[in-house]
Amino acid sequence: MLGYFLLTQRLLPLLRQGAPARVVNVASELAGELDLDDVEFRRRRYRGIAAYSQSKQANRMWTWALARRLEGSGVTANAMHPGGVNTPLFRKGGGLMGLAGAAYAKAMGKTPEAGADTVVWLAASPEVEGVSGRFFIDRREVACRFRETRGEEALWTLCQGMIRAPTA
């Protein structure tokens, strides 16, 4: 999530200058468990699936906060879920969940090209020109949980603080 935040912050002047432009964030349907008071799992027991879910909720929420900041600029921001894609992601996770995820991805997962279809469509299609602050699966807009301005703004503030270099 911080990578999305920092890269986009650095690119925003160029995106605004080159408008119309688009920001497309890859999120997931497997989003949730975001605890803004414990994003680094200092109080909670770390679980890989919880960290993944938390980061994907943050991706969505941050996209909505970004879309609000970009209104009227000619730059749009949307999030999408690529679906289950047959990649090595789960094979590296280990454990029972990793094995189950790897088996599912191998048997049922999309090709990487099919998984990238909605990303490319959101980045380039005239059909979604000017559309911002939305969540898509398979080129369809889907209602999204985690839409709450106060939480989105708290996440934005947290990210700003986390990317600042510590003072010596």
Annotated catalytic residues are 52
End-to-end CA distance of the chain: 25
According to DSSP, residue 132 is labeled -
Secondary structure letter of residue 37 according to DSSP? T
* Per-position b or e across 131-166, b if 16+ CB within 10 A of its CB: bbbbbbbeeeeeebebeeeebbeebbebbeeeeeee
Are 59 and 29 in contact, with CB atoms under 8 Å apart?
no
Between CA 94 and CA 49 the distance in angstroms is 11
